[in-house]
Amino acid sequence: QRPLRRLLSCPGTVAADLRREEQSSGNAETGSEDRTPKKRFSELQNERREQAQRTVLIHCPNKINEKKFLKFLSQHGPINTHFFYESFGLYAVVEFCQKESVTSLQNITRTPSLGPEAAIPFKSRYFNLKLRNSVNQTSELSSIQCSNQSSPSSKKLYQLLCCAESVDDQLNTLLREFQLTEENTRLRYLTCSLIEDVAAAYFPDCAVRPFGSSVNSFGKLGCDLDMFLDLDEIGKFTAQKTSGNFLMEFQVKNVPSERVATQKILSVIGECLDQFGPGCVGVQRILNARCPLVRFSHQASGFQCDLTANNRIALKSSELLYMYGALDSRVRALVFSVRCWARAHSLTSSIPGAWITNFSLTMMVIFFLQRRSPPILPTLDYLKTLADAEDKCIIEGHNCTFVRDLNRIKPSGNTETLELLLKEFFEYFGNFAFNKNSINIRQGREQNKPESSPLHIQNPFETSLNISKNVSQSQLQKFVDLARESAWILHQEGKDRPSPSSNQPWGLAALLLPSVTNNVPLSKKKKKPASERIKNLLDSIKSSGAENSIATNGR
Task: Return residues touching Mg ion (CB under 5 A).
Answer: 212-213, 224, 226
306 Cβ neighbours under 8 A, 6+ residues apart = 224, 225, 226, 227, 293, 294, 295
Cα angle value 226/228/234 (rounded, 5°)? 160
Q: Residue 425 CB, nearest distance to ligand GTP (Å)?
A: 19
Secondary structure class of 372 (helix, strand, coil): coil
Q: Do the beta carbons of residue 51 and residue 189 sit within 8 Å?
A: yes
Q: Which helix (H) or strand (E) holds 306?
A: strand 303-309
Smaller CB separation from ligand GTP, 357 or 412:
357
Stretch that binds ligand GTP, among 56-64, 202-210, 264-272, 352-360 (CB under 6 A): 352-360
Q: Which is nearer to ligand GTP, 216 or 440 (CB)?
A: 216
Are 220 and 336 in contact by the 8 Å Cβ rule? The answer is yes
Pairing type for strands 398-399 and 280-286 reads unpaired
Please report whether residue 223 would count as binding ligand GTP according to CB under 6 A: yes
Contact positions with ligand GTP (CB under 6 A) in 459-518: 459, 467
- The answer to whether 7 and 163 have CB atoms below 8 angstroms apart is yes
| Shortest distance, position 155 Cβ to Mg ion, whole Å | 26
Number of residues that bind ligand GTP (CB under 6 A): 19
CA dihedral 451, 454, 458, 463 (to 10 degrees): -30
User: For the CA atoms of 268, 274, 277, 280, what is the dihedral angle to 10 degrees?
Assistant: 130
What is the amino acid identity at position 147? S
Q: Using the rule CB under 6 A, is 341 a contact of ligand GTP?
A: no
Could you tell me the smallest distance in angstroms from the CB atom of residue 407 to ligand GTP?
A: 24
Angle between helices 418-430 and 358-370 (to 10 degrees): 110
Among Mg ion, ligand GTP, none, residue 554 binds (CB under 5-8 Å by kind): ligand GTP
Question: What's the closest the beta carbon of residue 142 comes to ligand GTP, in angstroms?
Answer: 36
3-state secondary structure of 141: coil
How far is residue 238 CA from its own chain's centroid?
33
Using CB under 6 A, pick the residue from 317, 453, 472, 540 that binds ligand GTP: 317
Contact status: 357 vs ligand GTP (CB under 6 A): yes
User: Cα separation of 170 and 333, whole Å?
Assistant: 9
Residues 6+ apart with CB under 8 A from 120: 275, 276
Residue nearest to ligand GTP (CB): 554
Based on CB atoms, which residue is closest to ligand GTP, 463 or 518? 463
From the list ligand GTP, Mg ion, none, pick the one residue 170 interacts with, judged by a Cβ distance below 5 to 8 Å according to partner type: none
- Closest CB 341 distance from ligand GTP, rounded Å: 14
CB of 439 to Mg ion, least distance (A): 20
Residue 274 amino acid letter: D
For Mg ion, the closer CB: 358 or 517: 358
In this chain, which of 224, 274, 405, 539 binds ligand GTP, going by CB under 6 A? 224
User: Which CB, 212 or 507, lies closer to Mg ion?
Assistant: 212
What is the nearest approach in angstroms of Mg ion to the Cβ of residue 179? 14
Cβ–Cβ < 8 Å for 307, 230: no
Q: Does 379 bind ligand GTP (CB under 6 A)?
A: no
**Cβ at position 245, least distance to ligand GTP in Å:** 43
Binding site for ligand GTP (CB under 6 A): 211-213, 216, 219, 223-224, 226, 314, 317-318, 357-359, 459, 467, 553-555
